[in-house]
Amino acid sequence: MAGGKAPQGALGALRALDMFPKVNEDFFQKTTSGGVITVVAYSFMMLLFLTETRLYLATHTTHELVVDSSRGETISIDVDVTFPRMPCAWLSLDAMDVSGEMHLDVEHDVYKQRLSKAGVPVSDAERHVLAPSAVAPLNDTNGTVACGTCYGAEDKDHPCCNTCDDVREAYQRKGWVMLKLADVTQCAHDGYLEAIKAQEGEGCRMWGRLDVNKVAGNFHFAAGRSFQQGSVHIHDMAPFADKTLDFTHTVKRLSFGPQYPGMRNPLDGAASVTPPPDVSKGRLIGGSKLATPEAKAAQAAGNGPKTGMYQYFLKVVPTVYVDSSNKTLVSNQYSVTEHFRENGATASGPASGRTLPGVFFFYDLSPIKVHIRQQRSSFLHYLTNLCAIVGGVFAVSGLLDGAVHHGERIIRKKIAMGKYT
């Protein structure tokens, strides 16, 4: 018997701790106002529950600015530009930093593809080499390497010029202007002049990736082969003295790193239009210079667009993106300002003037790094808010129901006593 009473005593003690004593339903009075308040309270509770669930399932983005303390890093530049009226044989792509040195010792994957006047590819993609390629040396009739002339630029240390590059370097050492390629025997074997004539009237698409040092610099598309003379970067424009240099272009893609959700590159899909002659005013829409009605009328009248330098000044901001699963992605954002610098000669005239025709992208690195973090609310925080919603709605609705019920009782009592007016 004693063993059977122990559980009953434990249950009785547990029953004594009940904070929610149950009242017989016969003692409750249900009212119409209470039913209305109950329906409203449950509806409001359901609305808050759905809202809190949506906020819990959604991700929240936070931005934080810190000083960029990284050193010795490189950045990847993904570029894809189409030139509808510049042949591939005419184009060169160079990358330089603030020291004035070209990035010839860095790995690059850049390709070019010839396009017809209608923009249709007419050849397979070919790898574009930023560094000048070596040309086979001159050989005499016996098959041995001959000592080619430097056309007056030879010296004691370099008595022979057997390749086109040798002649160019000899003239650089002397500080002389390079001869016309047609007058240089060594340059007649590389097929450069033949390609310039054969591809006239075509277009070109150039795309790829440049891996450059994380310092300010520029990369540019220009005509002619490039070389360094001291600290000066020079393009050989002699083969294009009587050629049309129209650098109208479309930037299909330009980014400084991998794409992350929400990333926007301002130059993606941007198309440029050069202002026609005798029309100095234009309007800016979306950061691109568009021709005015006067400009279009001048073009329709047969006046070709002016040639010159397209300049894009980019401010690159290092960015670290962290998604909700704590996966980190290092990239860069950028802003852009555009400018067109006229050459002074129309595209239908000679490529003369002090401005080098081409498309130039000047970039500078911001010292501030942006941390973008995607995160969700914790499940415990979600449960806490749900409990707060349930308890708060019940408490407020109980107070409201009590106030309404008390007011009804006072009004009924006054009506019964004939004092209610």
CA distance 200 to 203: 9
The mean pLDDT value of the chain amounts to 77
pLDDT of residue 296: 46
Q: Is 348's pLDDT higher than 60? A: no
Phi, psi for 128 (deg, rounded to 5): -100, 125
pLDDT of residue 282: 38
Q: What percent of the chain has pLDDT over 90?
A: 25
Q: From the CB of residue 163, how many other CB atoms can be counted at a distance below 10 Å?
A: 20
At 13-66, the pLDDT tens digits run 767 766 656 666 666 667 777 788 888 888 888 999 999 888 888 888 888 999
Is residue 13 domain-resident?
A: no
Element (H, E) at 408: helix 379-416
Is 367 found in the same domain as 339? yes
Q: From the CB of residue 362, how many other CB atoms can be counted at a distance below 10 Å?
A: 17
Q: Which domain holds residue 145?
A: 136-189
Rounded to an integer, the average pLDDT of 101-111 is 69
At 165 the three-state DSSP class reads helix
Q: Is 148's pLDDT higher than 90? A: no
At 63-78, the pLDDT tens digits run 899 999 888 788 999 9
Is 398 found in the same domain as 278? no
Is residue 18 domain-resident?
A: no
Is 346 found in the same domain as 304? yes
Separation in Å, CA 96 to CA 173, 221, 354, 366: 21, 12, 20, 18
Is 251 found in the same domain as 342? yes
Is residue 6 domain-resident?
A: no
Q: What is the separation of C-alpha 271 from the centre of its chain, rounded to a whole number of angstroms?
A: 16
Is 358 found in the same domain as 302? yes
Is 177 found in the same domain as 242? no
Predicted TM-score (pTM) of the model is 0.67
